[in-house]
Amino acid sequence: MATNSFSLSSSSSLFPSPPTGGNLRRRFNFRRTRAAVISSSVAFPKKKHWKQGEYPGFTEQNGFKNNKRTPIKNIKKKLDRKSNAKGWVNTVTEALSDHIDKKQWVQALKVFEMLKEQPFYQSKESTYMKIIVLLGRCRQPGKAQQLFDTMIEEGLEPTPEFYTALVGAYCRSNIIDKAFTLLHRMIELPYCQPNVYTYSILIKACVDASRFDLVDSLYEQMAERAIVPNTVTQNIVLNGYGRAGKYEEIEKVLSGMLESTDSRPDIWTMNTILSLFGNKGEIETMEKWYEKFCNFGIEPEKRTFNILVSAYGKKRMYNKMSSVMEYMRKLSFLWMTSTYNNVIEAFSYVGDAKNMEYTTDQMRAEGVKTDTKTFCCLIRGYANAGLFPKVINTVQLAGKLEIPENTSFFNSVIYACAKAEDLMEMERVFKRMKDKQFRLDDTTFSVMVEAYRKEGMTDKVYDLEQEKQMTSASEFNYRRSDEEKLELMPA
Q: For residue range 341-354, what is the model confidence (pLDDT) as tens digits?
A: 999 999 999 999 99
* Distances in whole angstroms, Cα of residue 254 to Cα of each of 8, 26, 223, 226: 51, 70, 18, 21
CA atoms within 13 A on the CB side of 296: 20
Check: CB of residue 140 under 8 Å from CB of residue 169: yes
pLDDT in tens, 139-196: 999 999 999 999 999 888 889 999 999 999 999 999 999 999 999 999 999 899 999 9
Point out the residues of the chain with pLDDT beneath 70: 1-90, 473-491
H helix or E strand, kind and range, residue 430: helix 423-435
Instruction: List the one residue out of 103, 97, 180 whose CA is nearest residue 140.
Output: 103
Classified as helix, coil or strand, 361 is: helix
How far the first Cα of the chain sits from its last, in Å, is: 65
CA dist 12 and 250 (Å) reads 51
What's the gap between Cα 485 and its chain centre?
Answer: 26
Check: CB of residue 265 under 8 Å from CB of residue 254: yes
CA dist 466 and 470 (Å) reads 6
Classified as helix, coil or strand, 384 is: helix
Q: How many other C-beta atoms can be found within 10 angstroms of the C-beta atom of residue 436?
A: 11
CA dist 200 and 240 (Å) reads 13
Classified as helix, coil or strand, 485 is: helix
Instruction: List the one residue out of 173, 217, 213, 211 whose CA is nearest residue 199.
Output: 217
Write down the pLDDT at residue 95.
83
Percent of the chain as helix, strand, coil, to the nearest 5: 65, 0, 35
Check: CB of residue 335 under 8 Å from CB of residue 325: yes
